[in-house]
Structures are given as C-alpha cells and as structure tokens.
Amino acid sequence: MTIAVLTRDLMDGSRFRAALPDVVIVRSASAAELADADLILLDLSLRADTATVVALGPPVIAYGAHVEADALDAAIAAGCVDALPRSKVFRRASELLD
C-alpha cells in the first residue's frame, strides 16, 4: 500500500516517516505521486483545494488543527473519507495500513 502525505511541514513528514517508513511525502497537490497512491493524507494547513485532491481518485484523509472544526467538516463535505485532528492522525498513523 502506498500512502502519500501532502504537507510542507517538516515535522509532520518526519513523524509520518517514523510511523510509516515507506510513506511518500509531497509538497504540491500537482505531484504525480498523489495519483499513484492508495491513500492520501492531506494537511489542511496547506489550504490546498480539497476537492481537487479528492478528484485525483485515491481516498483522502484530511487532518488539521482540532480548533478548526469548520475546516475538518468542510473536508468531509468535499469528499474526504475522514478528517481528523492532527493529534489523532499521528496516533493512528500505523493503523492506516490496515
């Protein structure tokens, strides 16, 4: 399973690599690796167009600040399969392979 993480946050990237060594980190919604992924994790702090990322095809799980409930809800409305606070996505990172 190929998991791609769309983020520019270096700490996020290192935390995901620690939990999922084969994860692919990309910095742009136009990165070719996203279309080839089996799952995309989308950092909402990028302010990328969530619907555009969802339209790439693979399931998308968005994550962001727990205080930005509106952004998490908007991600679900845009077609993400889930939207989680940052703390939960890092705790559940290894479960994403199941």
16-73 pLDDT per residue, tens: 888 888 889 999 988 888 989 999 999 999 888 999 999 999 999 999 988 888 999 9
In terms of residues, how long is the chain? 98
Model pTM above 0.75: yes
Domains and CATH numbers, the chain: 3-89 (3.40.50.2300)
Cβ–Cβ < 8 Å for 32, 7: no
pLDDT at 55: 94
- Comparing CA positions, the residue from 1, 56, 64, 2 lying closest to residue 29 is 56
pLDDT at 80: 96
For residues 32, 8, 86 and 48, what is the CA-based torsion angle, rounded to 10 degrees? Answer: -60
Q: Which helix (H) or strand (E) holds 26?
A: strand 24-26
Give residues with Cβ within 8 angstroms of 45, minimum separation 6.
7, 9, 64, 65
